[in-house]
Amino acid sequence: MSQIFISDLHLDDARPETTAQFIDLLAQDCRSIEALFILGDLYEAWIGDDDDSVLAQQTQNALAACRASGTRIYVQRGNRDFLLGPMFAKRVGAQLLPDFAVISCAGTPTLLMHGDLLCTEDHEYLAFRNQVRNADWQQQFLSQPLAARRAFAEQARQSSQNRQQGLKDAQQLEVITDVAQDAVLATMRHYGVTRLIHGHTHRPGRHTLELDGLPAERIVLGDWYTQSSHLASNGNTLRLHHSPAP
């Protein structure tokens, strides 16, 4: 089975070249495969399925065209696009996945995650996540006008950037915003897998580990701020690709 996995594109009006690179990937690489998996943070911010921006329309049209070509599309929510909902899925013909999803990849049961839940030292973020994943909070937020939601998203993005800079200055960024090894092992053990694919940390790579005496692997997808990154599965072969940003 041929599959492509991506995450953390953070598509945004301010970086049209990244959007163009994503649309090229859909048109050139994803129309000849069986399935595309998007593991969260496709957008820098998703303020609701009624978003009428050019970016929202352009990318949804490209995804729908990819799906119409025969490629199945699966989408997990990330920490930036947690409001992706059923109307988005219907427009593009995608299936929304839960936070933990086990699939067959290269002949091996594989757990897919965005990855944020593995960063157990990031207590401030996890508290924020609990708040914004609450159904009442989301209903109240989505009832606001688009302009108010866009202003909130911009403020949240600026706060996140300031916090990350503060952690960097305190030399805590690498520890707090990366996965905890005990959380990785416990999660893989819970789902009975020896392979995990996730994004979120923006630290692409393939990591070998031992799980209860068995060889295991954690594959981290890269972000698209300074590159384009995707994992390709073809038969029993997996390859992590990186390309410079345009």
The CATH number of the domain holding residue 18 is 3.60.21.10
Chain centre to alpha carbon of residue 208: 22
Three-state SS at 6 = strand
Q: How many residues in the chain?
A: 246
Domain containing 176 equals: 2-244
Q: Kindly indicate the confidence band of residue 246, based on its pLDDT and cuts at 50, 70 and 90.
A: low
Say if CB 99 and CB 117 are below 8 A apart. yes
Tally of domains within the chain:
1
Span 63-92, average pLDDT: 97
Tokens at 88, concatenated: 């988005």
Q: 178-216: per-residue pLDDT in tens?
A: 999 999 999 999 999 999 999 999 999 999 999 999 999
The predicted structure's pLDDT at residue 176: 81
Tell which wins on pLDDT, 1 or 111: 111
- Give the residue from 42, 41, 63, 45 showing the smallest Cα distance to 53: 45
- What does pLDDT average to over the chain? 94
